């Protein structure tokens, strides 16, 4: 009887191991709601053997398109002032160089902050990084909503700096988002979609500024709320989700 009991226990253990192995490889029990399992055994993984299987969720395409959308809303703010620089020079009573700094601050901010942001992405992951990026993007736009007065150019620069800081978080995310959420044969497509939003802000950036150019400089002085309206339009685009 002892031998029979031992044989039964060994058989049960082998069955459990086989069941676990099939589950991990995607050939066992079916996937849960909204997800599929794929094998990624062909992905190089150094000396550690094949990479672990990737679990794919149906909502992964929604996630990458939402990321691309708020990446676009941030890149849009990079050049929104350059389109109407002659009008803003008169409105804020500053020279062209000061207006140029509203876009150049995006490049300057990236240099010192990319290193701590990359560390944060490695340590805390996509969710924390995405939430911080959205918060900074939204905060920068709100600050600029409150800066539509001729004596508040410094507040405008502060808002633009905050938005440029959000850009540092956003630019490092497409490749990580693609590698975490997508399978081996989808990484390139997902990464290109994530980057696309940041590359095409000029397609949309002129629309909220049309009212300012149509009113001319005198209309801008008489109706400062036109500038506020353009920032509120940007704000509506900046409220991206953090479901990563």
Secondary structure class of 106 (helix, strand, coil): helix
Spatial contact of 160 and 71, defined as CB atoms under 8 Å apart = no
pLDDT of the residue at 17: 40
Percentage, residues of the chain above pLDDT 90: 34
Q: Is the pLDDT of residue 16 over 50?
A: no
Cα dihedral value 141, 113, 173, 101, nearest 10? 40
pLDDT of the residue at 242: 46
pLDDT in tens, 100-149: 999 999 999 999 999 999 999 999 989 999 999 999 999 999 999 888 88
**In whole angstroms, what is the distance from residue 132 CA to residue 55 CA?**
26
Percentage, residues of the chain above pLDDT 70: 59
Q: Is the pLDDT of residue 150 over 70?
A: yes
pLDDT in tens, 81-104: 887 888 889 889 999 999 999 999
The domain limits of the chain are 2-30, 58-237
Assigned token pair, 167? 């850009």
83-100 exposure pattern, b = at least 16 Cβ within 10 A, e = fewer: bbeebbbebbebeeebbe
Q: Taken in order 89, 140, 191, 175, is the CA torsion positive or negative? A: positive
Give the contacts of 34 (CB within 8 A, at least 6 positions apart). 57, 58, 59
Q: Is the pLDDT of residue 231 over 90?
A: no
CATH architecture of 58-237: Up-down Bundle (1.20)
Spatial contact of 183 and 131, defined as CB atoms under 8 Å apart = no
Assigned token pair, 242? 């953090």
Note the Cα 213 to chain centre separation in Å. Answer: 31
pLDDT of the residue at 179: 87
């Amino acid at each position: 009887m002892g031998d029979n009991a031992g044989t039964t226990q060994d058989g049960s253990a082998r069955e459990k191991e086989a069941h676990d192995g099939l589950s991990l490889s995607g050939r066992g029990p079916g996937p849960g709601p909204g997800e599929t399992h794929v094998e990624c055994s062909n992905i190089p993984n150094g000396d550690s053997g094949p990479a672990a299987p990737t679990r794919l969720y149906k909502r992964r395409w929604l996630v990458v398109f939402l990321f691309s959308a708020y990446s676009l809303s941030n890149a849009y703010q990079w050049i929104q002032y350059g389109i109407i620089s002659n009008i803003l020079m008169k409105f804020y009573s500053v020279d062209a160089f000061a207006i140029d700094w509203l876009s150049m601050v995006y490049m300057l901010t990236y240099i010192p902050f990319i290193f701590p942001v990359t560390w944060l992405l490695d340590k805390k992951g996509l969710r924390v990084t995405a939430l911080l990026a959205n918060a900074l993007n939204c905060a920068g736009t709100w600050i600029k909503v409150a800066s539509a007065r001729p004596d508040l150019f410094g507040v405008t620069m502060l808002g633009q700096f905050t938005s440029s800081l959000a850009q540092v978080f956003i630019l490092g995310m497409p490749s990580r988002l693609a590698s975490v959420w997508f399978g081996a044969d989808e990484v390139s497509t997902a990464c290109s979609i994530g980057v696309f939003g940041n590359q095409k802000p000029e397609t949309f950036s002129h629309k909220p500024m049309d009212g300012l150019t149509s009113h001319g400089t005198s209309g801008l002085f008489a109706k400062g709320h036109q500038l506020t309206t353009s920032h509120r339009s940007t704000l509506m685009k900046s409220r991206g989700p953090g479901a990563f």
